[in-house]
Structure 1
Protein backbone atom coordinates (compact mmCIF):
# COMPACT_ATOMS: atom_id res chain seq x y z
CA UNK A 1 0.00 0.00 0.00
CA UNK A 2 3.04 2.26 0.04
CA UNK A 3 2.56 3.17 3.69
CA UNK A 4 3.11 1.95 7.25
CA UNK A 5 0.84 0.47 9.90
CA UNK A 6 0.80 0.43 13.69
CA UNK A 7 -1.04 -1.47 16.39
CA UNK A 8 -1.59 -0.66 20.07
CA UNK A 9 -3.16 -3.70 21.73
CA UNK A 10 -3.96 -4.45 25.37
CA UNK A 11 -3.63 -8.19 24.75
CA UNK A 12 -0.16 -8.78 23.31
CA UNK A 13 1.49 -11.79 21.70
CA UNK A 14 4.33 -12.27 19.19
CA UNK A 15 1.87 -13.57 16.59
CA UNK A 16 -0.20 -10.37 16.38
CA UNK A 17 2.15 -8.48 14.07
CA UNK A 18 2.45 -11.43 11.71
CA UNK A 19 -1.31 -11.89 11.64
CA UNK A 20 -2.02 -8.24 10.86
CA UNK A 21 0.69 -8.20 8.19
CA UNK A 22 -0.78 -11.32 6.57
CA UNK A 23 -4.23 -9.72 6.26
CA UNK A 24 -2.76 -6.55 4.75
CA UNK A 25 -0.67 -8.65 2.36
CA UNK A 26 -3.88 -10.34 1.22
CA UNK A 27 -5.43 -6.97 0.38
CA UNK A 28 -2.32 -5.97 -1.58
CA UNK A 29 -2.26 -9.28 -3.46
CA UNK A 30 -5.86 -8.80 -4.52
CA UNK A 31 -6.34 -5.04 -4.94
CA UNK A 32 -3.00 -3.29 -5.51
CA UNK A 33 -2.63 -1.34 -8.73
CA UNK A 34 1.17 -1.33 -8.23
CA UNK A 35 1.53 -5.11 -8.02
CA UNK A 36 1.37 -6.43 -11.58
CA UNK A 37 0.43 -9.89 -10.29
CA UNK A 38 -2.54 -8.70 -8.20
CA UNK A 39 -6.08 -9.68 -9.11
CA UNK A 40 -6.85 -6.01 -9.83
CA UNK A 41 -3.90 -5.63 -12.23
CA UNK A 42 -4.82 -8.84 -14.02
CA UNK A 43 -8.42 -7.66 -14.32
CA UNK A 44 -7.27 -4.37 -15.84
CA UNK A 45 -5.28 -6.33 -18.43
CA UNK A 46 -8.20 -8.64 -19.21
CA UNK A 47 -10.19 -8.23 -22.46
CA UNK A 48 -12.87 -5.54 -22.45
CA UNK A 49 -16.32 -6.98 -21.80
CA UNK A 50 -15.05 -10.31 -20.49
CA UNK A 51 -16.21 -11.50 -17.07
CA UNK A 52 -13.47 -11.85 -14.44
CA UNK A 53 -13.93 -13.97 -11.30
CA UNK A 54 -13.13 -12.31 -7.95
CA UNK A 55 -12.07 -13.57 -4.53
CA UNK A 56 -14.61 -12.89 -1.78
CA UNK A 57 -12.66 -9.98 -0.23
CA UNK A 58 -12.18 -8.24 -3.58
CA UNK A 59 -15.87 -8.68 -4.44
CA UNK A 60 -16.87 -7.16 -1.08
CA UNK A 61 -14.82 -4.01 -1.76
CA UNK A 62 -16.08 -3.67 -5.35
CA UNK A 63 -19.67 -3.97 -4.09
CA UNK A 64 -19.07 -1.20 -1.53
CA UNK A 65 -17.29 1.02 -4.08
CA UNK A 66 -20.12 0.76 -6.60
CA UNK A 67 -22.70 1.37 -3.87
CA UNK A 68 -20.93 4.61 -2.88
CA UNK A 69 -20.63 5.54 -6.56
CA UNK A 70 -24.39 5.27 -7.01
CA UNK A 71 -25.22 7.04 -3.75
CA UNK A 72 -22.84 9.92 -4.53
CA UNK A 73 -24.05 10.30 -8.13
CA UNK A 74 -20.62 9.38 -9.42
CA UNK A 75 -18.47 11.52 -7.11
CA UNK A 76 -16.74 8.29 -6.12
CA UNK A 77 -15.64 6.46 -9.28
CA UNK A 78 -13.62 3.24 -8.95
CA UNK A 79 -13.00 3.13 -12.72
CA UNK A 80 -10.68 6.18 -12.84
CA UNK A 81 -7.46 4.18 -13.13
CA UNK A 82 -6.53 5.45 -16.59
CA UNK A 83 -6.85 9.06 -15.39
CA UNK A 84 -4.92 8.59 -12.16
CA UNK A 85 -2.16 6.82 -14.07
CA UNK A 86 -1.97 9.56 -16.71
CA UNK A 87 -1.64 12.19 -13.98
CA UNK A 88 1.19 10.34 -12.27
CA UNK A 89 -0.63 8.72 -9.35
CA UNK A 90 -0.72 5.16 -10.67
CA UNK A 91 1.65 2.32 -11.41
CA UNK A 92 3.40 4.20 -14.22
CA UNK A 93 4.92 6.61 -11.72
CA UNK A 94 4.98 10.42 -11.31
CA UNK A 95 4.85 12.99 -14.10
CA UNK A 96 6.44 16.44 -14.30
CA UNK A 97 3.89 18.14 -16.54
CA UNK A 98 0.14 18.47 -16.86
CA UNK A 99 -1.09 15.72 -19.18
CA UNK A 100 -3.27 16.41 -22.16
CA UNK A 101 -6.82 15.08 -22.41
CA UNK A 102 -7.15 11.39 -23.15
CA UNK A 103 -9.75 9.54 -25.17
CA UNK A 104 -10.58 6.78 -22.71
CA UNK A 105 -14.16 6.06 -23.70
CA UNK A 106 -16.99 5.08 -21.37
CA UNK A 107 -16.00 4.17 -17.80
CA UNK A 108 -18.25 1.39 -16.54
CA UNK A 109 -17.74 -1.53 -14.21
CA UNK A 110 -20.42 -4.24 -14.24
CA UNK A 111 -20.64 -6.37 -11.09
CA UNK A 112 -22.44 -9.69 -10.82
CA UNK A 113 -22.72 -10.13 -7.05
CA UNK A 114 -24.25 -13.62 -7.16
CA UNK A 115 -21.52 -15.02 -9.40
CA UNK A 116 -18.84 -12.79 -7.79
CA UNK A 117 -17.45 -11.48 -11.07
CA UNK A 118 -16.88 -8.15 -12.83
CA UNK A 119 -16.32 -6.84 -16.33
CA UNK A 120 -15.29 -3.45 -17.69
CA UNK A 121 -16.02 -1.16 -20.57
CA UNK A 122 -13.24 0.11 -22.83
CA UNK A 123 -12.44 3.23 -20.76
CA UNK A 124 -12.69 1.60 -17.34
CA UNK A 125 -9.50 0.85 -15.40
CA UNK A 126 -10.23 -0.24 -11.85
CA UNK A 127 -8.57 1.79 -9.07
CA UNK A 128 -9.60 0.99 -5.48
CA UNK A 129 -7.02 3.23 -3.77
CA UNK A 130 -9.84 5.38 -2.37
CA UNK A 131 -11.37 2.52 -0.38
CA UNK A 132 -9.08 -0.55 -0.20
CA UNK A 133 -6.83 0.82 2.55
CA UNK A 134 -9.84 1.26 4.81
CA UNK A 135 -10.88 -2.29 4.02
CA UNK A 136 -7.40 -3.45 4.99
CA UNK A 137 -7.95 -1.87 8.41
CA UNK A 138 -11.28 -3.67 8.77
CA UNK A 139 -9.90 -7.02 7.66
CA UNK A 140 -6.98 -6.81 10.10
CA UNK A 141 -9.31 -5.65 12.89
CA UNK A 142 -11.69 -8.54 12.28
CA UNK A 143 -8.74 -10.95 12.39
CA UNK A 144 -7.68 -9.50 15.74
CA UNK A 145 -11.19 -9.79 17.15
CA UNK A 146 -11.52 -13.35 15.90
CA UNK A 147 -8.27 -14.19 17.67
CA UNK A 148 -9.45 -12.89 21.02
CA UNK A 149 -7.91 -9.40 20.88
CA UNK A 150 -10.75 -7.17 22.04
CA UNK A 151 -9.01 -3.90 22.94
CA UNK A 152 -6.79 -2.21 20.35
CA UNK A 153 -6.13 0.79 18.12
CA UNK A 154 -5.08 -0.08 14.57
CA UNK A 155 -3.76 2.46 12.07
CA UNK A 156 -2.86 1.96 8.41
CA UNK A 157 -1.58 5.02 6.57
CA UNK A 158 -3.63 7.40 8.70
CA UNK A 159 -6.87 5.41 8.62
CA UNK A 160 -7.85 4.23 12.12
CA UNK A 161 -10.08 1.77 13.91
CA UNK A 162 -10.41 1.59 17.67
CA UNK A 163 -11.96 -1.36 19.50
CA UNK A 164 -12.70 -1.60 23.21
CA UNK A 165 -10.77 0.58 25.66
CA UNK A 166 -7.25 1.30 26.88
CA UNK A 167 -5.83 -0.38 30.01
CA UNK A 168 -6.64 2.75 32.05
CA UNK A 169 -10.32 2.50 31.13
CA UNK A 170 -10.19 5.43 28.68
CA UNK A 171 -11.26 5.08 25.05
CA UNK A 172 -8.68 5.31 22.29
CA UNK A 173 -8.35 9.09 21.86
CA UNK A 174 -7.06 10.35 18.49
CA UNK A 175 -6.72 13.82 17.03
CA UNK A 176 -8.23 14.41 13.59
CA UNK A 177 -5.52 15.42 11.13
CA UNK A 178 -5.98 18.97 9.89
CA UNK A 179 -4.48 20.43 6.69
CA UNK A 180 -1.29 22.41 7.29
CA UNK A 181 -2.86 25.40 5.53
CA UNK A 182 -5.66 25.88 8.08
CA UNK A 183 -5.77 27.19 11.63
CA UNK A 184 -8.98 25.26 12.42
CA UNK A 185 -8.40 23.41 15.68
CA UNK A 186 -8.31 19.60 15.41
CA UNK A 187 -11.02 17.50 16.99
CA UNK A 188 -10.17 14.80 19.53
CA UNK A 189 -12.22 11.68 18.85
CA UNK A 190 -12.89 8.69 21.10
CA UNK A 191 -12.55 5.66 18.84
CA UNK A 192 -14.58 3.15 20.82
CA UNK A 193 -15.70 0.53 18.29
CA UNK A 194 -15.40 3.22 15.64
CA UNK A 195 -13.25 4.06 12.61
CA UNK A 196 -11.94 7.35 11.24
CA UNK A 197 -10.70 8.08 7.72
CA UNK A 198 -9.40 11.38 6.33
CA UNK A 199 -9.07 12.33 2.68
CA UNK A 200 -6.92 15.39 2.02
CA UNK A 201 -6.03 17.05 -1.27
CA UNK A 202 -2.72 18.24 0.24
CA UNK A 203 -1.34 14.75 0.92
CA UNK A 204 -0.29 13.83 -2.60
CA UNK A 205 0.11 15.86 -5.75
CA UNK A 206 2.57 17.80 -7.83
CA UNK A 207 3.21 21.44 -8.68
CA UNK A 208 3.75 22.85 -12.19
CA UNK A 209 4.26 26.57 -12.91
CA UNK A 210 3.31 27.44 -9.34
CA UNK A 211 0.01 25.54 -9.39
CA UNK A 212 -0.61 22.50 -7.19
CA UNK A 213 -2.52 19.57 -8.67
CA UNK A 214 -4.18 17.24 -6.16
CA UNK A 215 -4.42 13.46 -6.39
CA UNK A 216 -8.19 13.76 -5.75
CA UNK A 217 -10.09 13.70 -9.06
CA UNK A 218 -13.46 15.00 -10.13
CA UNK A 219 -14.92 12.21 -12.29
CA UNK A 220 -17.08 14.76 -14.13
CA UNK A 221 -14.13 16.81 -15.42
CA UNK A 222 -11.44 14.15 -15.42
CA UNK A 223 -9.12 16.58 -13.63
CA UNK A 224 -7.95 17.21 -10.05
CA UNK A 225 -10.55 18.87 -7.84
CA UNK A 226 -10.69 22.68 -7.58
CA UNK A 227 -13.49 23.07 -5.02
CA UNK A 228 -11.59 24.57 -2.04
CA UNK A 229 -11.97 21.41 0.08
CA UNK A 230 -8.65 20.61 1.74
CA UNK A 231 -9.73 17.64 3.85
CA UNK A 232 -12.70 15.48 4.80
CA UNK A 233 -12.89 13.20 7.83
CA UNK A 234 -15.62 10.59 8.16
CA UNK A 235 -16.38 8.51 11.27
CA UNK A 236 -18.05 5.14 10.76
CA UNK A 237 -18.15 1.67 12.27
CA UNK A 238 -16.55 0.41 9.05
CA UNK A 239 -13.19 1.89 8.10
CA UNK A 240 -13.79 0.83 4.50
CA UNK A 241 -16.97 2.92 4.31
CA UNK A 242 -15.35 5.83 6.15
CA UNK A 243 -12.50 5.73 3.61
CA UNK A 244 -14.73 5.54 0.56
CA UNK A 245 -17.12 8.21 1.74
CA UNK A 246 -14.28 10.58 2.69
CA UNK A 247 -13.05 10.26 -0.89
CA UNK A 248 -16.50 10.93 -2.36
CA UNK A 249 -17.26 13.92 -0.14
CA UNK A 250 -13.89 15.51 -0.98
CA UNK A 251 -14.95 15.70 -4.63
CA UNK A 252 -18.34 17.33 -4.01
CA UNK A 253 -17.37 20.59 -2.33
CA UNK A 254 -18.40 21.76 1.16
CA UNK A 255 -22.14 22.41 0.81
CA UNK A 256 -22.94 19.40 -1.36
CA UNK A 257 -20.73 17.15 0.78
CA UNK A 258 -22.56 18.06 4.00
CA UNK A 259 -25.95 17.73 2.33
CA UNK A 260 -25.07 14.22 1.15
CA UNK A 261 -23.53 13.29 4.51
CA UNK A 262 -26.78 14.32 6.22
CA UNK A 263 -28.83 12.34 3.72
CA UNK A 264 -26.65 9.26 4.28
CA UNK A 265 -26.46 9.66 8.07
CA UNK A 266 -22.68 10.10 8.00
CA UNK A 267 -20.57 11.82 10.66
CA UNK A 268 -18.41 14.08 8.49
CA UNK A 269 -16.17 17.10 8.97
CA UNK A 270 -15.19 19.11 5.88
CA UNK A 271 -12.35 21.64 6.02
CA UNK A 272 -12.23 24.32 3.32
CA UNK A 273 -9.65 27.01 3.95
CA UNK A 274 -10.35 28.55 7.36
CA UNK A 275 -13.90 27.19 7.53
CA UNK A 276 -15.25 23.91 8.85
CA UNK A 277 -18.50 22.30 7.80
CA UNK A 278 -20.03 19.64 10.06
CA UNK A 279 -22.73 17.11 9.27
CA UNK A 280 -25.70 16.56 11.55
CA UNK A 281 -24.26 13.26 12.84
CA UNK A 282 -20.90 14.87 13.62
CA UNK A 283 -22.59 17.68 15.54
CA UNK A 284 -24.64 15.13 17.48
CA UNK A 285 -21.42 13.44 18.58
CA UNK A 286 -20.20 16.75 20.01
CA UNK A 287 -23.09 16.69 22.43
Structure 2
Protein backbone atom coordinates (compact mmCIF):
# COMPACT_ATOMS: atom_id res chain seq x y z
CA UNK A 1 0.00 0.00 0.00
CA UNK A 2 1.35 3.42 -0.90
CA UNK A 3 1.94 5.68 2.06
CA UNK A 4 1.15 9.36 1.76
CA UNK A 5 1.19 12.14 4.32
CA UNK A 6 2.14 10.40 7.54
CA UNK A 7 -0.74 10.10 9.95
CA UNK A 8 -0.33 10.40 13.68
CA UNK A 9 -2.78 8.64 15.91
CA UNK A 10 -4.96 11.29 17.51
CA UNK A 11 -6.20 10.99 21.06
CA UNK A 12 -9.42 12.77 20.16
CA UNK A 13 -12.68 11.13 19.19
CA UNK A 14 -16.16 12.35 18.41
CA UNK A 15 -18.84 12.04 21.02
CA UNK A 16 -22.44 12.36 19.97
CA UNK A 17 -21.71 11.65 16.30
CA UNK A 18 -22.80 8.03 15.86
CA UNK A 19 -22.66 5.01 18.17
CA UNK A 20 -20.37 6.93 20.50
CA UNK A 21 -23.43 8.58 22.04
CA UNK A 22 -23.79 6.17 24.99
CA UNK A 23 -20.26 7.01 26.16
CA UNK A 24 -21.51 10.24 27.66
CA UNK A 25 -23.31 9.89 30.94
CA UNK A 26 -25.46 12.98 30.49
CA UNK A 27 -28.91 11.94 29.24
CA UNK A 28 -29.18 15.08 27.09
CA UNK A 29 -26.78 13.55 24.61
CA UNK A 30 -29.00 10.56 24.02
CA UNK A 31 -31.82 12.95 23.10
CA UNK A 32 -29.65 15.01 20.74
CA UNK A 33 -30.67 15.32 17.13
CA UNK A 34 -29.55 12.52 14.81
CA UNK A 35 -26.53 13.28 12.66
CA UNK A 36 -25.44 12.50 9.11
CA UNK A 37 -21.86 11.69 8.17
CA UNK A 38 -19.71 11.41 5.07
CA UNK A 39 -16.44 9.48 5.22
CA UNK A 40 -13.42 8.84 3.03
CA UNK A 41 -9.69 8.16 3.03
CA UNK A 42 -6.71 10.46 2.50
CA UNK A 43 -3.10 10.76 3.63
CA UNK A 44 -3.01 7.22 4.96
CA UNK A 45 -5.88 7.96 7.36
CA UNK A 46 -9.62 8.66 7.25
CA UNK A 47 -11.71 11.79 7.08
CA UNK A 48 -15.27 12.43 8.18
CA UNK A 49 -17.77 15.26 7.91
CA UNK A 50 -20.63 15.21 10.42
CA UNK A 51 -23.75 17.32 9.97
CA UNK A 52 -27.40 17.53 10.96
CA UNK A 53 -29.93 14.88 10.06
CA UNK A 54 -31.26 15.39 6.55
CA UNK A 55 -28.22 17.28 5.29
CA UNK A 56 -27.09 15.89 1.94
CA UNK A 57 -23.32 15.73 2.32
CA UNK A 58 -22.68 13.52 -0.69
CA UNK A 59 -22.10 16.35 -3.20
CA UNK A 60 -19.05 17.37 -1.15
CA UNK A 61 -17.14 14.16 -1.84
CA UNK A 62 -15.66 14.90 -5.30
CA UNK A 63 -14.33 18.30 -4.24
CA UNK A 64 -12.95 16.97 -0.94
CA UNK A 65 -11.24 14.06 -2.68
CA UNK A 66 -9.73 16.36 -5.30
CA UNK A 67 -8.54 18.80 -2.65
CA UNK A 68 -6.79 16.15 -0.58
CA UNK A 69 -5.28 14.50 -3.67
CA UNK A 70 -3.78 17.82 -4.74
CA UNK A 71 -2.24 18.44 -1.32
CA UNK A 72 -0.87 14.90 -1.24
CA UNK A 73 0.72 15.35 -4.68
CA UNK A 74 2.55 18.44 -3.46
CA UNK A 75 3.41 17.73 0.15
CA UNK A 76 3.71 13.98 0.75
CA UNK A 77 7.27 12.93 1.67
CA UNK A 78 6.20 9.31 1.13
CA UNK A 79 5.89 9.86 -2.62
CA UNK A 80 8.95 10.15 -4.83
CA UNK A 81 6.86 11.97 -7.44
CA UNK A 82 5.50 14.65 -5.08
CA UNK A 83 6.94 18.16 -5.15
CA UNK A 84 8.39 17.68 -1.66
CA UNK A 85 9.75 14.26 -2.64
CA UNK A 86 11.61 15.75 -5.60
CA UNK A 87 12.88 18.65 -3.48
CA UNK A 88 14.24 16.19 -0.92
CA UNK A 89 15.86 14.05 -3.63
CA UNK A 90 17.61 17.10 -5.09
CA UNK A 91 15.85 17.06 -8.45
CA UNK A 92 14.21 20.37 -7.48
CA UNK A 93 16.42 23.13 -6.09
CA UNK A 94 13.56 25.24 -4.77
CA UNK A 95 9.88 25.05 -3.96
CA UNK A 96 7.28 27.10 -5.79
CA UNK A 97 3.51 27.19 -5.80
CA UNK A 98 1.33 29.42 -3.65
CA UNK A 99 -0.14 26.75 -1.39
CA UNK A 100 3.06 24.77 -0.90
CA UNK A 101 5.08 27.89 -0.14
CA UNK A 102 2.37 29.11 2.24
CA UNK A 103 2.54 25.89 4.28
CA UNK A 104 6.36 25.79 4.21
CA UNK A 105 6.52 29.41 5.39
CA UNK A 106 4.12 28.60 8.22
CA UNK A 107 6.29 25.64 9.23
CA UNK A 108 9.43 27.77 9.32
CA UNK A 109 7.67 30.54 11.24
CA UNK A 110 6.55 27.96 13.80
CA UNK A 111 10.11 26.67 14.05
CA UNK A 112 11.17 30.16 15.07
CA UNK A 113 8.24 30.75 17.43
CA UNK A 114 8.79 27.38 19.14
CA UNK A 115 12.54 27.99 19.55
CA UNK A 116 13.25 25.08 17.23
CA UNK A 117 11.24 22.37 18.97
CA UNK A 118 9.21 22.20 15.76
CA UNK A 119 11.75 21.52 13.03
CA UNK A 120 10.48 20.52 9.57
CA UNK A 121 13.97 19.36 8.55
CA UNK A 122 14.24 16.41 10.99
CA UNK A 123 12.89 13.90 8.47
CA UNK A 124 16.16 11.90 8.19
CA UNK A 125 16.22 11.51 12.00
CA UNK A 126 12.62 10.29 12.01
CA UNK A 127 13.55 7.70 9.39
CA UNK A 128 16.66 6.67 11.32
CA UNK A 129 14.40 5.68 14.21
CA UNK A 130 12.14 3.69 11.90
CA UNK A 131 9.18 6.06 11.57
CA UNK A 132 9.55 8.02 8.34
CA UNK A 133 10.37 7.83 4.61
CA UNK A 134 13.22 10.36 4.24
CA UNK A 135 16.13 7.95 4.46
CA UNK A 136 18.66 10.20 2.75
CA UNK A 137 19.61 13.67 3.89
CA UNK A 138 21.94 15.59 6.11
CA UNK A 139 21.70 16.95 9.61
CA UNK A 140 18.58 18.99 10.34
CA UNK A 141 18.74 22.76 10.39
CA UNK A 142 15.60 24.74 9.60
CA UNK A 143 17.56 27.98 9.41
CA UNK A 144 19.18 26.60 6.26
CA UNK A 145 15.93 27.12 4.36
CA UNK A 146 15.46 30.59 2.91
CA UNK A 147 12.09 32.19 2.25
CA UNK A 148 11.79 34.42 -0.80
CA UNK A 149 8.66 35.90 -2.36
CA UNK A 150 6.88 32.92 -3.90
CA UNK A 151 9.62 30.35 -3.30
CA UNK A 152 11.63 28.40 -0.72
CA UNK A 153 15.29 27.54 -1.32
CA UNK A 154 17.88 25.58 0.66
CA UNK A 155 21.46 26.58 1.35
CA UNK A 156 22.62 22.96 1.65
CA UNK A 157 21.70 20.40 -0.94
CA UNK A 158 21.38 17.66 1.69
CA UNK A 159 18.64 19.52 3.61
CA UNK A 160 15.18 17.94 3.45
CA UNK A 161 11.71 19.22 4.26
CA UNK A 162 8.87 17.30 5.88
CA UNK A 163 5.59 19.18 6.35
CA UNK A 164 3.64 16.27 7.87
CA UNK A 165 3.58 18.03 11.25
CA UNK A 166 1.50 20.86 9.81
CA UNK A 167 0.14 19.89 6.37
CA UNK A 168 -2.72 17.72 7.64
CA UNK A 169 -4.01 20.67 9.64
CA UNK A 170 -3.79 22.86 6.56
CA UNK A 171 -5.72 20.26 4.57
CA UNK A 172 -8.44 20.34 7.23
CA UNK A 173 -8.59 24.15 7.04
CA UNK A 174 -8.94 24.02 3.26
CA UNK A 175 -11.69 21.40 3.53
CA UNK A 176 -13.50 23.60 6.03
CA UNK A 177 -13.44 26.54 3.64
CA UNK A 178 -14.69 24.29 0.86
CA UNK A 179 -17.64 23.11 2.93
CA UNK A 180 -18.33 26.66 4.06
CA UNK A 181 -18.77 27.58 0.41
CA UNK A 182 -21.44 24.91 0.02
CA UNK A 183 -23.81 26.79 2.29
CA UNK A 184 -23.94 24.04 4.91
CA UNK A 185 -23.76 24.98 8.58
CA UNK A 186 -23.49 22.96 11.81
CA UNK A 187 -20.66 20.75 10.54
CA UNK A 188 -17.77 19.05 12.29
CA UNK A 189 -14.81 17.98 10.15
CA UNK A 190 -12.44 15.23 11.25
CA UNK A 191 -9.19 14.41 9.45
CA UNK A 192 -7.22 11.67 11.15
CA UNK A 193 -8.33 12.77 14.62
CA UNK A 194 -7.83 16.49 14.03
CA UNK A 195 -11.11 18.36 14.28
CA UNK A 196 -12.52 21.68 13.18
CA UNK A 197 -16.02 22.93 13.98
CA UNK A 198 -17.89 24.82 11.28
CA UNK A 199 -20.75 26.13 13.34
CA UNK A 200 -22.10 24.63 16.56
CA UNK A 201 -23.63 21.20 17.05
CA UNK A 202 -27.08 21.08 15.37
CA UNK A 203 -28.67 21.16 18.85
CA UNK A 204 -27.07 24.58 19.42
CA UNK A 205 -24.43 23.49 21.94
CA UNK A 206 -20.70 23.08 21.46
CA UNK A 207 -19.43 19.89 19.87
CA UNK A 208 -18.28 17.43 22.54
CA UNK A 209 -15.01 15.62 21.93
CA UNK A 210 -13.59 12.71 23.87
CA UNK A 211 -10.01 13.09 25.05
CA UNK A 212 -8.96 9.48 24.77
CA UNK A 213 -6.74 7.63 27.18
CA UNK A 214 -3.25 6.99 25.74
CA UNK A 215 -3.85 3.25 26.14
CA UNK A 216 -6.68 1.77 24.09
CA UNK A 217 -9.48 0.27 26.11
CA UNK A 218 -9.20 2.62 29.08
CA UNK A 219 -11.95 5.04 30.03
CA UNK A 220 -12.16 8.50 28.51
CA UNK A 221 -10.57 10.84 31.07
CA UNK A 222 -12.16 14.09 29.86
CA UNK A 223 -14.58 15.72 27.44
CA UNK A 224 -13.54 18.77 25.47
CA UNK A 225 -16.26 21.26 24.52
CA UNK A 226 -15.19 22.46 21.06
CA UNK A 227 -16.71 25.85 20.23
CA UNK A 228 -17.88 26.79 16.76
CA UNK A 229 -15.05 28.02 14.57
CA UNK A 230 -12.33 26.34 16.61
CA UNK A 231 -9.93 23.47 15.87
CA UNK A 232 -8.20 20.89 18.03
CA UNK A 233 -5.26 18.62 17.22
CA UNK A 234 -3.32 16.09 19.25
CA UNK A 235 0.23 14.78 19.08
CA UNK A 236 1.24 11.73 21.04
CA UNK A 237 2.86 8.34 21.01
CA UNK A 238 -0.10 6.12 20.15
CA UNK A 239 0.33 3.72 17.24
CA UNK A 240 3.62 5.18 16.02
CA UNK A 241 5.72 4.01 18.94
CA UNK A 242 7.28 0.89 20.38
CA UNK A 243 8.23 -0.24 23.87
CA UNK A 244 11.73 -1.44 24.65
CA UNK A 245 12.31 -2.18 28.31
CA UNK A 246 10.74 0.47 30.52
CA UNK A 247 10.81 3.17 27.82
CA UNK A 248 8.39 3.97 25.02
CA UNK A 249 10.06 5.20 21.81
CA UNK A 250 7.92 7.42 19.60
CA UNK A 251 8.08 9.13 16.23
CA UNK A 252 8.29 12.71 17.51
CA UNK A 253 11.93 13.80 17.53
CA UNK A 254 13.52 16.16 20.04
CA UNK A 255 15.83 18.27 17.85
CA UNK A 256 18.06 18.97 20.86
CA UNK A 257 18.93 15.29 21.35
CA UNK A 258 18.37 14.04 17.77
CA UNK A 259 16.27 11.21 19.24
CA UNK A 260 12.68 10.46 20.23
CA UNK A 261 11.24 12.59 23.00
CA UNK A 262 11.92 11.10 26.43
CA UNK A 263 9.87 11.36 29.58
CA UNK A 264 6.36 10.70 30.84
CA UNK A 265 4.47 12.92 28.39
CA UNK A 266 1.98 10.85 26.40
CA UNK A 267 -0.09 13.38 24.45
CA UNK A 268 -0.60 17.09 23.87
CA UNK A 269 -3.90 18.52 22.60
CA UNK A 270 -3.99 22.10 21.33
CA UNK A 271 -6.98 24.37 20.69
CA UNK A 272 -6.62 27.05 18.00
CA UNK A 273 -8.75 28.99 15.56
CA UNK A 274 -7.23 27.14 12.60
CA UNK A 275 -6.22 23.51 12.33
CA UNK A 276 -2.79 24.18 10.83
CA UNK A 277 -1.74 26.10 13.93
CA UNK A 278 -3.24 23.47 16.24
CA UNK A 279 -1.47 20.69 14.32
CA UNK A 280 1.92 22.38 14.36
CA UNK A 281 1.81 23.53 17.98
CA UNK A 282 0.74 20.08 19.19
CA UNK A 283 3.91 18.67 17.62
CA UNK A 284 6.09 21.52 18.90
CA UNK A 285 4.84 21.25 22.48
CA UNK A 286 5.24 17.48 22.56
CA UNK A 287 8.78 17.77 21.18
CA UNK A 288 9.58 20.27 23.94
CA UNK A 289 9.04 17.51 26.51
CA UNK A 290 7.71 17.09 30.03
CA UNK A 291 8.94 20.42 31.39
CA UNK A 292 9.64 22.45 28.28
CA UNK A 293 6.26 21.77 26.70
CA UNK A 294 4.07 23.32 29.42
CA UNK A 295 6.60 26.14 29.87
CA UNK A 296 6.48 26.99 26.18
CA UNK A 297 2.68 26.82 26.13
CA UNK A 298 2.47 29.20 29.09
CA UNK A 299 4.99 31.58 27.54
CA UNK A 300 2.98 31.68 24.29
CA UNK A 301 -0.42 31.57 26.04
CA UNK A 302 -1.42 28.49 24.03
CA UNK A 303 -4.54 26.56 25.12
CA UNK A 304 -3.16 23.04 25.54
CA UNK A 305 -3.76 19.85 27.50
CA UNK A 306 -0.76 17.69 28.47
CA UNK A 307 -1.35 14.10 29.57
CA UNK A 308 1.42 12.40 31.55
CA UNK A 309 1.72 8.80 32.70
CA UNK A 310 3.32 7.92 36.03
CA UNK A 311 3.19 4.36 37.32
CA UNK A 312 0.25 3.56 35.01
CA UNK A 313 -1.78 6.51 36.27
CA UNK A 314 -2.53 9.71 34.35
CA UNK A 315 -2.11 13.28 35.44
CA UNK A 316 -2.55 16.41 33.40
CA UNK A 317 -1.53 20.02 32.98
CA UNK A 318 -3.69 22.53 31.12
CA UNK A 319 -2.55 25.94 29.88
CA UNK A 320 -3.99 28.97 28.16
CA UNK A 321 -7.47 28.53 29.62
CA UNK A 322 -8.07 25.12 28.03
CA UNK A 323 -9.21 23.80 31.41
CA UNK A 324 -12.27 26.04 31.08
CA UNK A 325 -13.64 23.91 28.22
CA UNK A 326 -12.86 20.52 29.76
CA UNK A 327 -15.11 18.25 31.79
CA UNK A 328 -13.19 15.59 33.74
CA UNK A 329 -14.87 12.25 34.15
CA UNK A 330 -13.02 10.96 37.19
TM > 0.5: yes
Q: CA deviation at 1:120?
A: 4.9
CA contact (8 A) 1:78 1:128 kept: yes
Which one has a larger percent strand, Structure 1 or Structure 2? 2
Change (3 A) 1:286 1:84: closer
- Once residues 57 and 43 of structure 1 are traced to their aligned partners in structure 2, the CA distance between those partners, rounded to angstroms, is 15
Partner of 1:276: 316
CA contact (8 A) 1:63 1:113 kept: no
- Once residues 163 and 106 of structure 1 are traced to their aligned partners in structure 2, the CA distance between those partners, rounded to angstroms, is 37
SS in 1 for 2:165: coil
Q: CA deviation at 1:103?
A: 8.9
Q: CA deviation at 1:168?
A: 2.4
Partner of 1:83: 125
Q: CA deviation at 1:90?
A: 1.8
Q: CA deviation at 1:239?
A: 0.6
Q: CA deviation at 1:226?
A: 0.6
Partner of 1:195: 231
Q: What is the TM-score with the length of structure 2 in the denominator?
A: 0.76
SS in 2 for 1:41: helix
Partner of 2:257: 221
Whether 1:257 aligns to 2:301 is no
Q: 1:107 aligns with which of 128, 137, 141?
A: 141
Q: CA deviation at 1:281?
A: 2.4
- Once residues 79 and 175 of structure 1 are traced to their aligned partners in structure 2, the CA distance between those partners, rounded to angstroms, is 32
Runs of 4 or more, structure 1, over 6 Å off, are 181-184
Unaligned runs of 5+ in 1: 94-101
Aligned residues: 277
Change (3 A) 1:5 1:131: same
- Once residues 65 and 202 of structure 2 are traced to their aligned partners in structure 1, the CA distance between those partners, rounded to angstroms, is 24
CA contact (8 A) 1:82 1:123 kept: no
Partner of 1:98: none
Q: CA deviation at 1:210?
A: 6.8
Q: CA RMSD in A?
A: 2.5
Partner of 1:171: 206
Whether 1:27 aligns to 2:71 is yes
Partner of 2:171: 136
CA contact (8 A) 2:270 2:305 kept: yes
Q: What is the TM-score with the length of structure 1 in the denominator?
A: 0.87
CA contact (8 A) 1:178 1:231 kept: no
Q: 2:94 aligns with which of 49, 52, 69?
A: 52
Whether 1:266 aligns to 2:310 is no
- Once residues 115 and 154 of structure 2 are traced to their aligned partners in structure 1, the CA distance between those partners, rounded to angstroms, is 21
CA contact (8 A) 1:262 1:281 kept: no
| The 10-residue stretch of structure 1 (64-73 or 8-17) with the greater mean CA deviation from structure 2 | 8-17
